[in-house]
A and B are shown apart, each in its own frame.
Chain A
Amino acid sequence: MRPPKLSVSLLLLTITGALTLMIATLSFKDLYANINRMHQLELLRQASAFGDQMFDAAEKLSLERDLSTAALTAPNAEDANELRPRLTEVRAAVDPAIAAALANSHRYQFAELTRLRVAIAERMTRIQRLRQQTDAVLAHRNARQARALADEWPREVGALTDETESVWLRFTARFIDIDPIVTLHLRFKHLLRSIRNESAMERALIAQAIAQPAGPTPQQVAELLRAEGAAEADWHTSQAIAEQSGLMTTIARPYADARSHFATMRDMTQNLYATSGPDFHSLFPMGPDLWFELSNQASTTFQGLTSATVHASQSYLDTLTRRAQQAIVGQVVMLILAMLLCTASFWVVIVRVVGPINEIVVALLKTMRGEAVNVPATPGRQDEIGKLAQVLEAFRANTTEVRRTAEELTQNQMRLRAVVDHAMDGLITIDERGAIQSFNPACERMFGYRADEIIGRPITLLIPSLYAEGDPGDLASYVADPSAAASHEASGRRKNRSSFQMDLTVSTYVLSGATYYLAIVRDVTLRKEAELALLGYTHALERSNRELDDFAYIASHDLKEPLRGIHNHSRFLLEDNEKSLDEESAKRLHRLVYLSQRMERLVNDLLYFSRLGRQELAVQPMDMAAAVRDIEATLEHFLEERGARIVVKGELPSAVCDKPRVTEVVRNLITNAVKYNDKAEKVVEIGFVESRSRPTGKIAHNVYYVRDNGRGIDPEFHSDVFRIFKRLQAGEGAEDGTGVGLTFVKKIVERHGGEIWIESEVGRGATFYFTLEASHDDSRISPEAA
């Protein structure tokens, strides 16, 4: 079984929860302890009050005992009767005190207390009986009975006091763990009761001694000394405890008073022992009533100490209770604060940390999967969450960008793939070791291998010449040679081991630190064959042209001789026989001479034309403007005669050409422009433009032109004007000529690699444009030249 996944948020919540639980547990534990302590303190306070009440009742009972004893032992009826009212008074105080203490004791479900209640009830019944007996005896003055009763009072009351004291000690034992100081208080109070009992006994003994005719008996003296010593020891201990418990600071004065009064009473009876004997009453002049009153006063002073102690002890308990209450209130406040803090922590952890982190994590996961996300809103947060949100935003933007780029890349790759797959040329990539990496369909067709069976195998399988020496380094040197970047002719080997000719271009590229080679191969078998055929045709054509030129030359040259013979013979015949010949025959002979002369001119032109095709051009720099000036000077008479003038428009740049021939071109064009001009003022304009678009749409550069203001030529005849012996306007009063001029012009221009064309319309003059070198056409439409 796999352990449950512990996410960061769960961990945070667990820690916060555990801390909260811990704080709550600790706080509740302390709170419970304090409440418990307060409860116990309250119990202790009540128990203490109950004890005080009980002992107060016991003390009142002791007073009754003292009074009763004093009355019973009074030496005479007078003394006894003096005590009666006070006895009644005390009895009236005793009964309610005992009843109240008993009633209060019902509050505690404590077995000892229940037994004590029963015991007290029994004792009180006996005390009631003792009271009746005492009253009876006091009325009848029976000395023997009185003494017996006087002995019985201390027994009964002493037993009751002892029982109460022992039960009280066991009762308080269960509270003493609450506070050590309170334990000391209880001990101190116990000591005070002890002192009081001893003093009471002492004074009762003295009272008895006073009542006796001869003073104290030796037994009484012994008992007095024992009680005196015990009381003295108790005082001593009580002082130590009062100081130790801190009680002394509050009860110092009542304590000093009580002790002073006690000591003073001691002083009063310090010589009592020396007075026993028959003269006792004259030696110790103390009446029972005075003694009783003095004892009573000492008891009152002592009561002051007891009250002060009770009060101090109660206020100490109150302080403890108040402190416990304050502690409880403080703890409750702390608990509430701690809980609020924990709630706030929970809130912070959940709302400010876990929530945003979860949102960001979900958003990141979604972004990773390419789903649409809303970036968690963390406005103005400058903490880690805010930064995380910024990072998420950047990540999301990056991911979108990466995704888009990846798509583009894929498309590019597909496009490239298509190009590669559909390329006519074979594309092969090779690694540094010469192993084939890729192989496109064109290669498959070319070499007869499928891509999957050739990839990874050496390139030499396809192109054995690449590694003639079997060293892959050769490939690098193959590429490193700059001239090698151009294509090479190489021999490829097909799968069926047949060879074929191909063009091979090798280039290199570096990808991830590794060098690769790209070989582009093209099967040139067909092209080679075509080239060979074309070469054959060209040679045949050249031979044919040459033969034609040779023929023309030979024909014209050979034709000249018989033609001259015809001419000479015709003229000789005419000169010799002109008078003898009739008019008709003479006319025919003149015609024959004319025609033979014309025939000779035609043959000469033809001869010249054939020479143009046969002779090489003598190319040199030529100043076109100077050439035009020369022509103008040469034709001066011709121009004047016909009322024509030449205008050079702009600068005429120089050209590199066969100077005499190009001069002939220009002169020919000028004379044509003058000859075929019907205007009175004939203007021939010569100029140059950087570029000119031809009527066919092509653009020619570095164009010279010759323009006239003559009749113009119908576009229908624009191509005819350059044909040899073609004359458009023969027999219409036009200039005489053989009609070869423009044919020569065209031939010369074409021998220079240039072009010539006409732009003209009827009635608007004509312009002859020509170039002297082959200009590269491009599809761009240049601005129209002027």
Chain B
Amino acid sequence: MAPLKALRRLSLAALWMLAATPAHAQQSVRLVEQDIKAALLYNFLLYTEWPAPQQNNVVVCVYGRDPFSGRLASMVGRTVNQRPIEVRSVAEIADTDTCALLFVNAEERPHWPQLHAHLEHASVLTVSDYDGFAAAGGMIEFTRANSRIAMRINRRAVTAGNLVVEDRLLRLAERD
């Protein structure tokens, strides 16, 4: 836990620096929001059932630039459903096959159709935070409702990917 603590202290120090400069206020909003989103990925992993795990590790992939600014690093070594979590940064579409969860950077939105086509029947839980991701065939889309973080879950996409999302996760999402 020592690295985690160190990391947190570091981020706390960064936080104070940002708080001292109002110009970066928008930045800090992003900062806390990304804390929540990164942590929520753990709950996604917790309540999703993959058909037949290919490997022991649960692989969390980020496609494109890391929008969590290294926060996912603290997830490495933790376990979910008694399996260790592994974090990868993926640049090539072909490399996404082994992922359990794939977070697609909003900036990669143009590549989504290709990605989607590649992953159409793959058991990869796809997550992103740009508007219209779920509608475009993504499985979980972070949204904001009344200035609060919410989730939209595309059940058909989930079913198509041969995945099962438990009620406790669905409970987090807004009703379709």
Contact = CB atoms under 8 A, between A and B. Distances in A.
Contact of A297 (B146, B150, B168): B168
Interface string B134-174: 00000000001011111000000000000000001001100
Contacts of B149: 285-287, 290
Given A271-B35, A297-B46, A256 B78 contact: yes
Contact of B147 (A267, A282, A294, A301): A282
B79 interface: yes
Q: What's the interface size class on B, roughly? A: 35 or more
A269 B28 CA distance: 13
A134 B123 CA distance: 46
Interface string A284-326: 1111001001100100110000000000000000000000000
Contacts of A301: 46
B124 interface: no
Contact of B35 (A259, A268, A287, A293): A268
B93 interface: no
B82 interface: yes
B33 A285 contact: yes
B148 A267 contact: no
A268 B33 CA distance: 9
B35 A267 contact: yes
A702 B40 CA distance: 162
B68 to A, nearest CB: 10
B8 A290 contact: no
Interface in A474-515: none
A271 B81 contact: no
B91 interface: no
B26 to A, nearest CB: 10
Contacts of A268: 35-36, 38-40
A274 B32 contact: yes
Interface size class of A (residues with CB under 8 A): 20 to 34
A265 interface: yes
A304 to B, nearest CB: 9
A534 interface: no
Interface string A251-288: 00110110111011111111110110000011111110
Given A271-B15, A274-B32, A286-B149, A253 B39 contact: no
A287 B148 contact: yes
Contact of A274 (B19, B75, B144): B19
B43 A260 contact: no
B16 to A, nearest CB: 7
B115 interface: no
B28 A274 contact: yes
A269 B15 CA distance: 13
A254 B144 CA distance: 33
Q: Which one of A254, A268, A269, A293 has the highest number of Cβ atoms from chain B below 10 Å of its Cβ? A: A268
A253 B79 contact: yes
Contacts of A266: 8
A260 B35 contact: no
Contact of B78 (A254, A260, A290): A260
Interface string B70-100: 0100110011111001000000000000000
B15 A285 contact: no
A290 B78 CA distance: 23
> Which one of B40, B148, B168 has the highest number of Cβ atoms from chain A below 10 Å of its Cβ?
B148
With a 10 A CB-CB cut-off, give which of A266, A282, A284, A285 has the most chain B CB atoms. Answer: A285
Contacts of A256: 78-79, 82
Contacts of B144: 285
Contacts of A300: 168
B5 to A, nearest CB: 9
A271 B32 contact: yes
Given A264-B75, A285-B36, A285-B144, A254 B82 contact: yes
B11 A260 contact: no
B82 A283 contact: no
Contacts of A272: 32
B31 A271 contact: yes
B117 interface: no
B35 A274 contact: no
A271 B71 CA distance: 12
B171 to A, nearest CB: 6
A690 B169 CA distance: 157
B42 interface: yes
A253 B33 CA distance: 30
Task: Report the 4 A-B pairs with minimum CB-CB distance, sorted nearest first.
Answer: A260-B78, A268-B39, A253-B82, A256-B79
30 contacts: A253-B82, A256-B78, A259-B78, A260-B78, A260-B80, A261-B46, A267-B39, A268-B36, A268-B40, A270-B11, A270-B12, A271-B15, A271-B28, A271-B31, A272-B32, A275-B28, A281-B148, A282-B29, A282-B147, A283-B29, A283-B32, A284-B32, A285-B32, A285-B148, A286-B36, A286-B148, A290-B148, A290-B172, A297-B168, A301-B46
Given A256-B78, A260-B42, A260-B78, 15 more contacts: A253-B82, A256-B79, A256-B82, A257-B80, A261-B42, A263-B78, A267-B38, A271-B15, A275-B28, A283-B29, A284-B32, A285-B36, A285-B147, A287-B146, A300-B168
Interface of A: 232, 253-254, 256-257, 259-261, 263-272, 274-275, 281-287, 290, 293-294, 297, 300-301
